[in-house]
């Protein structure tokens, strides 16, 4: 129904990479399952869900393979895509899988999410996803960033040791990608999450292969909180950048 495979079940050649991405993401979901094991009914968000390959895969994993009861909200701006995915969910009788067209910032959360996922939300859309996950108190956040334009546009030579990273466009882009995600991880730590940046899939498949995994922990100790905030401030000051996702945005 989603165009990944033929009726025989064979994955289309042009969809092989996407199929591997989704399966690898599901492995990441399985790795954090113990952190959401206590919920009788799982509440899951897929923000900036796009064509929703991940949405259907995650819903299938928990309901069919794991036998869990699930309510899952999937949100994206594209009304035509959302209408199509909603139609498929109805045809499959996935009664707990809901699709909404709109801005994820305005989407009303039902309750504290057990899991928030996002696959390749572009540029600051990833920041908006992370902010929504943090604000809602999501127990686990799994997000793969994409297209780090914001910092790329802000980075300028400013007379310090980082200037040599800006002499070549491709190196500047890679540096901007890494710095953006490092700051995102730091914001999550500031807000009480244990954070890891992981490789989603082989870089030969896609250069957009970083997954940010954040698991909600107890409140951050004051001394640690101060340390994280200072680390965030110092990197922003060194690079002279002002990311969308601020350390004190809350």
Q: What is the pLDDT of residues 104-150, one digit of tens each?
A: 999 999 999 999 999 988 999 999 999 999 999 999 999 999 888 89
Q: What percent of the chain has pLDDT over 90?
A: 70
CA torsion 134-138-142-148 (nearest 10°) is -20
Residues 76-115 pLDDT 10s: 999 999 999 999 999 999 999 999 999 999 999 999 999 9
Confidence of residue 6 (pLDDT cuts 50, 70, 90): very low
- Tell me what pLDDT residue 250 has: 45
pLDDT tens figures, 63-87 = 999 999 999 999 999 999 999 999 9
Does the structure show a pLDDT above 50 at 13? no
Q: What is the mean pLDDT of residues 160-172?
A: 90
Q: Are the C-beta atoms of 71 and 42 separated by less than 8 Å?
A: yes
Indicate the range of 95-109, 148-162, 183-197 predicted with least confidence: 148-162
| pTM for the whole structure | 0.90
If you average pLDDT over each of 24-33, 34-43, 214-223, which comes out highest?
24-33
Give CA–CA dist 132/140, Å, rounded. Answer: 12
Q: Say whether pLDDT at 1 is over 60.
A: no
Count of Cβ atoms closer than 10 Å to residue 190 Cβ: 23
Q: Are 37 and 139 in contact (CB under 8 A)?
A: no
Query: Looking at residues 13-18, what average pLDDT do you find?
Result: 55
Tell me which of 29-33, 202-206, 212-216, 226-230 is least confident: 202-206
* Spatial separation of the C-alpha atoms in residues 15 and 5, rounded to whole Å: 8
- Mean of pLDDT over the chain: 88
């Amino acid at each position: 129904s989603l165009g990944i495979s033929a009726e025989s079940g064979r994955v289309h050649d042009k969809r092989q990479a996407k199929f591997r991405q989704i399966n690898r993401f599901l492995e990441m979901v399985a790795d954090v399952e113990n952190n959401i094991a206590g919920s009788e009914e799982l509440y899951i968000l897929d923000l900036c869900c796009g064509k929703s390959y991940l949405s259907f895969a995650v819903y299938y994993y928990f309901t069919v393979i794991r036998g869990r009861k699930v309510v899952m909200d999937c949100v994206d701006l594209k009304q035509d895509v959302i209408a199509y995915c909603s139609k498929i969910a109805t045809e499959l009788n996935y009664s707990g899988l809901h699709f909404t067209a709109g801005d994820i910032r305005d989407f009303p959360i039902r309750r504290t999410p057990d899991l928030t996922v996002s696959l390749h939300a572009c540029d600051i859309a990833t920041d908006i996803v992370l902010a929504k996950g943090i604000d809602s108190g999501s127990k686990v956040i799994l997000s793969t960033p994409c297209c780090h334009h914001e910092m790329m546009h802000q980075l300028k030579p400013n007379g310090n040791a980082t200037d040599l990273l800006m002499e070549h466009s491709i190196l500047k882009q890679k540096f901007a990608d890494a710095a953006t995600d490092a700051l995102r991880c730091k914001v999550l730590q500031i807000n009480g999450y244990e954070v890891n940046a992981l490789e989603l899939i082989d870089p030969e498949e896609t250069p957009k292969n970083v997954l940010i995994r954040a698991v909600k922990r107890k409140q951050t100790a004051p001394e640690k909180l101060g340390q994280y905030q200072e680390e965030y401030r110092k990197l922003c000051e060194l690079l002279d950048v002002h990311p969308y996702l601020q350390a004190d945005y809350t």
